C-alpha cells in the first residue's frame, strides 16, 4: 500500500499577473495533484492585498510579504507601513505565515548592494518583531547573505533558503544555524542547472521543504511553459531521486517540515489517536519497511471502523494534544497501521510525556528499527515502554521474506528482527512476538521460535476493518 501523503508548495507566486485570469483553476489543479498547502510570497506592499485575498478565498493558501530585491523599489516609509500592516492583518486572520521573500540578488542588481543589505536587515528585524519566520532569496550573493545572518542572527522562528542550489558546505552551514532549505524544479534539470549532488549527501528531510517557485523554474517535462503548483510532485520525485530516499519519506517529511516552519494547521484525514479494544492507539505513520501480504493497509482504510489512512503525519505535540488526559490505568499503544519506529524520536517524545504522567505504553513494531535508525535503539526503550509486541509472523528467514516482504534483503531483515527482540528483552519488562492467525504458519513453529528467543508468543487475529 502506498501512503497517500499530501504535499506543501512553500513558494508559489500566485499573486503574479500570469495567474490573473485563472488562479482559481490553478489552485484546483494543485489540490487534485495532492498539494494541500500553498504559500504565496508577495514581493511588495502593493501586492499584499492579492496575497491576502487569495488566502481568504482558498483554504489551501497562506501568504508571506516582503520587498523583493529585484523589484528595484526603495524601502520608504510607505512601503514599510504597507508590509507591516498587511502582515499584521494576515496574522490576525491566521493567513500570514512569514516575512518574505527578501534577500540579496547581485545578478540583477536592481538596487545597489549596500541598499539591498540594509533592506535585508530591516526584514530580519521585522520577522523578529512579528514573530514570523523569514523566506530568503539569494543569487550570486552567498557570502553577504551568510555574513548578514551571522551578524544579525537568524530570527527566532527561523528562516528558509528558498530555491536552494548550494553545495554541501553551504548546506551544512545553513543546517547548523537551524535554517531550512527548499528545493524547486531545478532538481529535475540536467547538468549545471541542477543543485550539486553534494548538497543531497547529508540532506535532512525534517528541515527540507518543496516549492515550485511558480510561475518560474518549470520542472521537466514542462519546461518552456508557465509553471504551476500542480507540478510539485515532479519536484518531490526529483528530491527523492537525488537524495536516494523513498517518495513517501519525502512527501511525509517535507510536508511536516512546512507545517512546522510556517505553523500550518494539520489536515490528517485519518485518526492519529483512537480507542480500540480498551486501549488508546496512536497512529504515527502509514509508512512501513515491510509489505506483508496480509497487511490490513492493503485492503482497508482503517481498523475497527476507524479511518487510519493519513494524508500527513502528526508531531508529538499534536498526538499528545489529541490524547488529552489519559487515565493512568489506560494503555497507550503505538499501532501497526505503518511502522511507528520510522518516527523514532516522536515515539520517544510521546512515551516520555506519558511516563511522566504515570501512563502505560506498548509499542507494536515489526522490529526493523536498527535498519532505519542506523543503530540498536533498544536501550532507548528502557523506562519509556512497558510492553513490546513484535510482529514476526514467520518462524524463519525464508518464510519471513515470503510473507512480510521486507525492503531490506531477507537475511539482513530477519537478523535485525532477532536482534531487536533480544535487545528489547534486556530493556523492557514484557516482550512478545506475534503472528497473524489466518496465515499458513504453524503456531507450534512460532511457539518454538519464541521459546528459542526467550520471549512470549501471541497468536493474533488479523486486524479487521
The footprint of ligand SF4 (CB under 6 A) covers: 288, 290-292, 295, 297, 336, 338-339, 366, 391, 404
Cα 293 from chain centroid? Answer: 27
How far is CA 340 from each of CA 169, 206, 367, 436, rounded to the nearest angstrom? 33, 16, 10, 19
The residue among 98 and 288 lying less far from ligand SF4, judged by its C-beta, is: 288
Q: Which does 288 bind (CB under 5 to 8 A by kind): Zn ion, ligand SF4, none?
A: ligand SF4
How far is CA 345 from each of CA 326, 360, 369, rounded to the nearest angstrom? 21, 18, 11
The residue among 136 and 394 lying less far from ligand SF4, judged by its C-beta, is: 394
Least distance from C-beta 316 to ligand SF4, angstroms? 20
Q: Check if the beta carbon of residue 91 is closer than 8 Å to that of residue 157.
A: no
Q: Which does 85 bind (CB under 5 to 8 A by kind): ligand SF4, Zn ion, none?
A: none
Least distance from C-beta 55 to ligand SF4, angstroms? 37
The residue among 10 and 280 lying less far from Zn ion, judged by its C-beta, is: 10
Q: What angle do CA 267, 310, 305 make, to 5 degrees?
A: 110
The residue among 51 and 336 lying less far from ligand SF4, judged by its C-beta, is: 336
Residues 94-123 binding Zn ion (CB under 5 A) are 101
Least distance from C-beta 286 to ligand SF4, angstroms? 8
145: cell is 547573505
Q: Say how many residues touch Zn ion, by CB under 5 A.
A: 1
The residue number whose beta carbon is nearest to Zn ion equals 101
The residue among 261 and 274 lying less far from Zn ion, judged by its C-beta, is: 261
The residue among 186 and 364 lying less far from ligand SF4, judged by its C-beta, is: 364
Least distance from C-beta 143 to ligand SF4, angstroms? 47
The residue among 211 and 248 lying less far from ligand SF4, judged by its C-beta, is: 248
Q: Which does 291 bind (CB under 5 to 8 A by kind): ligand SF4, Zn ion, none?
A: ligand SF4
Q: Which does 86 bind (CB under 5 to 8 A by kind): Zn ion, ligand SF4, none?
A: none
Q: Which does 119 bind (CB under 5 to 8 A by kind): ligand SF4, Zn ion, none?
A: none
Least distance from C-beta 342 to ligand SF4, angstroms? 10
| Residue 265 to residue 362: CA distance in whole angstroms | 28
Q: Check if the beta carbon of residue 86 is closer than 8 Å to that of residue 53.
A: no
Least distance from C-beta 118 to ligand SF4, angstroms? 54
The residue among 162 and 297 lying less far from ligand SF4, judged by its C-beta, is: 297
Q: Which does 123 bind (CB under 5 to 8 A by kind): ligand SF4, Zn ion, none?
A: none
The residue among 101 and 105 lying less far from Zn ion, judged by its C-beta, is: 101
| Residue 292 to residue 304: CA distance in whole angstroms | 19
The residue among 41 and 336 lying less far from ligand SF4, judged by its C-beta, is: 336
Contacts of 109 (CB under 8 A, 6+ apart): none
Least distance from C-beta 435 to ligand SF4, angstroms? 11
Least distance from C-beta 295 to ligand SF4, angstroms? 3
Least distance from C-beta 211 to Zn ion, angstroms? 8
Q: Which does 339 bind (CB under 5 to 8 A by kind): ligand SF4, Zn ion, none?
A: ligand SF4
Residues 404-433 binding Zn ion (CB under 5 A) are none
Q: Which does 105 bind (CB under 5 to 8 A by kind): Zn ion, ligand SF4, none?
A: none
| Residue 295 to residue 312: CA distance in whole angstroms | 20
124: cell is 530580519
Reference 392, options 454, 343, 451, 458; nearest CA is 458
Least distance from C-beta 124 to ligand SF4, angstroms? 45
Report the C-alpha dihedral over residues 276, 278, 279, 285, rounded to 10 degrees: -10
The residue among 100 and 367 lying less far from Zn ion, judged by its C-beta, is: 100
Least distance from C-beta 11 to Zn ion, angstroms? 6
How far is CA 407 from each of CA 289, 336, 402, 458, rounded to the nearest angstrom? 6, 17, 12, 25
Strand partners, 365: 390
Q: Which stretch binds Zn ion (CB under 5 A): 93-101, 173-181, 281-289, 399-407?
A: 93-101
- Residues near Zn ion (CB under 5 A): 101
Amino acid at each position: 500500500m502506498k501512503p497517500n501523503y499530501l504535499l506543501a508548495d512553500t513558494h508559489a507566486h500566485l499573486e503574479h499577473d500570469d495567474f490573473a485570469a485563472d488562479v482559481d483553476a490553478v489552485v484546483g489543479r494543485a489540490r487534485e495533484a495532492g498539494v494541500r498547502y500553498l504559500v504565496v510570497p508577495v514581493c511588495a506592499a502593493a501586492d499584499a492585498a492579492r496575497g491576502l485575498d487569495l488566502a481568504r478565498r482558498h483554504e489551501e493558501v497562506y501568504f508571506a510579504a516582503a520587498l523583493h530585491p529585484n523589484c528595484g523599489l526603495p524601502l520608504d516609509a510607505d512601503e514599510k507601513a504597507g508590509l507591516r500592516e498587511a502582515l499584521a492583518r494576515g496574522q490576525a486572520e491566521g493567513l500570514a505565515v512569514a516575512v518574505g521573500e527578501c534577500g540579496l540578488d547581485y545578478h540583477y542588481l536592481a538596487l545597489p548592494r549596500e541598499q539591498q543589505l540594509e533592506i535585508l536587515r530591516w526584514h530580519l528585524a521585522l520577522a523578529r518583531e512579528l514573530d514570523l519566520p523569514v523566506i530568503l532569496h539569494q543569487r550570486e550573493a552567498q557570502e553577504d547573505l551568510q555574513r548578514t545572518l551571522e551578524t544579525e542572527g537568524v530570527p527566532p522562528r527561523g528562516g528558509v533558503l528558498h530555491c536552494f542550489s548550494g553545495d554541501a558546505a553551504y548546506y551544512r552551514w545553513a543546517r547548523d544555524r537551524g535554517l531550512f532549505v527548499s528545493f524547486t524544479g531545478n532538481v529535475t534539470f540536467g547538468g549545471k542547472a541542477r543543485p550539486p549532488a553534494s548538497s543531497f549527501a547529508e540532506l535532512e528531510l525534517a528541515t527540507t521543504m518543496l516549492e515550485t517557485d511558480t510561475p518560474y523554474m518549470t520542472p521537466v517535462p514542462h519546461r518552456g511553459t508557465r509553471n504551476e503548483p500542480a507540478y510539485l510532485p515532479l519536484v518531490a520525485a526529483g528530491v527523492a531521486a537525488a537524495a536516494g530516499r523513498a517518495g513517501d519519506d519525502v512527501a511525509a517529511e517535507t510536508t511536516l517540515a512546512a507545517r512546522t516552519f510556517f505553523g500550518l494547521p494539520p489536515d490528517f484525514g485519518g485518526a492519529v489517536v483512537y480507542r480500540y479494544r480498551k486501549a488508546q492507539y496512536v497512529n504515527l505513520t502509514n509508512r512501513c519497511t515491510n509489505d506483508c501480504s496480509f497487511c490490513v493497509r492493503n485492503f482497508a482504510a482503517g481498523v475497527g471502523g476507524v479511518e487510519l489512512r493519513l494524508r500527513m503525519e502528526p508531531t508529538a505535540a499534536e498526538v499528545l494534544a489529541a490524547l488529552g488526559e489519559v487515565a493512568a490505568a489506560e494503555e497507550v499503544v503505538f499501532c501497526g497501521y505503518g511502522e511507528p519506529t520510522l518516527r523514532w524520536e516522536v515515539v520517544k517524545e510521546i512515551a516520555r510525556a506519558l511516563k511522566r504522567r504515570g501512563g502505560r505504553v506498548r509499542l507494536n513494531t515489526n522490529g526493523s528499527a536498527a535498519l532505519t535508525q542506523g543503530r540498536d535503539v533498544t536501550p532507548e526503550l528502557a523506562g519509556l515502554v512497558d510492553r513490546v509486541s513484535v510482529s514476526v509472523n514467520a518462524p524463519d528467514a525464508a518464510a519471513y521474506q515470503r510473507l512480510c516482504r521486507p525492503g531490506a534483503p531477507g537475511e539482513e531483515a530477519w537478523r535485525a528482527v532477532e536482534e531487536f527482540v533480544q535487545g528489547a528483552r534486556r530493556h523492557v519488562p514484557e516482550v512478545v512476538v506475534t503472528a497473524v492467525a489466518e496465515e499458513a504458519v504453524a503456531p507450534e513453529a512460532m511457539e518454538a521460535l519464541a521459546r528459542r528467543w526467550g520471549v512470549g508468543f501471541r497468536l493474533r487475529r488479523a486486524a479487521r476493518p
